[in-house]
Amino acid sequence: MMKLLKSMMVALIATTIGLGTMFLAGGEGPQVFGLPMMVVCGLLAYAVNWIAFVPAALAQTEKYYDLMGSVSYLVTIVAACLLSAPLHERALVVAALVIIWTVRLGSFLFARIRADGQDKRFTEIRSNPARFFVTWTIQGAWVTLTAAAAFLIITSANTAPLGAAFYAGVAMWVVGFAFEAVADSQKKAFRNNPENKGKFIQSGLWAWSRHPNYFGELLLWSGIFVISLPLLSGMEWIVLISPVFVYFLLTKVSGIPLLEKLGKKRWGEDPSYQAYLKRTSRLLPLPPSNAR
């Protein structure tokens, strides 16, 4: 019973943080159905995941988890665009950027889990309905918080000329998207080579960063936030939570800590892996050091 209550409390907190952020950022902005438009976007993100949780829990499968994360982005961004039409140039560009990223990453992750057959993150979770529900709720929070700046840009009634912040943000997004896509492609090719079975990747972008795909994701969402800067005032600055949340999630929660724990479990006694950890930057791409 205590574990169930703990899970429900975590789900409630995750929901409150996501919807609370949407309310604070968009409370003074356009409304629809009597609610701030940004809150409606947040509700849609959670609703998609809660609905998807039901068949996933019954089948005890996580195969569609990442796919539904992408669906959540698409549903909320498209809804924001339709509710805010006609859109200004900044909103159109940001909506397109988010959709491009979503389709690329979603298809990549779905293809990967189809090939692998399972996601090891869910080994001990998928058979526990309460904990499994928490993961789907957290995915709703992930969509809501990560895209907070994008939602604000799309739904904002304010407009501003496309100046330095816009072009700098787009440039950051392009570089970040390229890093993430290339890193994922390199790792996929490495894993698909039978000669690399049981080995770890340390070539290409992975020679400069142990997690170049995560660097790319952080950079592209930071770019979206930079694009939003000319529109921000008052409580709208809370959308800074977008890149901050991405950084926290990737470096402190389910990203790097989990992967490096698995890596040390598999190759921790391997001298070449120990050397790789010493010479390679954890996140920010840097030339390999001479440490051995």
What's the distance, Cα to Cα, between the start and end of the chain in Å? 50
Q: Which residues of 49-59 are buried (b: 16+ CB within 10 A; e: fewer)?
A: bbebbeebbee
Mean pLDDT rounded to a whole number for the chain: 91
> Quick check: 107 pLDDT over 60?
yes
The confidence score (pLDDT) of residue 117 equals 67
- pLDDT tens for 216-249 read 999 999 999 999 999 999 999 999 999 999 999 8
- pLDDT tens for 136-155 read 999 999 999 999 999 999 99
* Better-predicted residue by pLDDT, 19 or 157: 19
Weakest-pLDDT range from 120-129, 207-216, 223-232: 120-129
> Quick check: 156 pLDDT over 50?
yes
124 Cβ partners below 8 Å, 6+ apart? none
Report the largest interatomic distance among the alpha carbons of the chain, rounded to a whole angstrom.
61
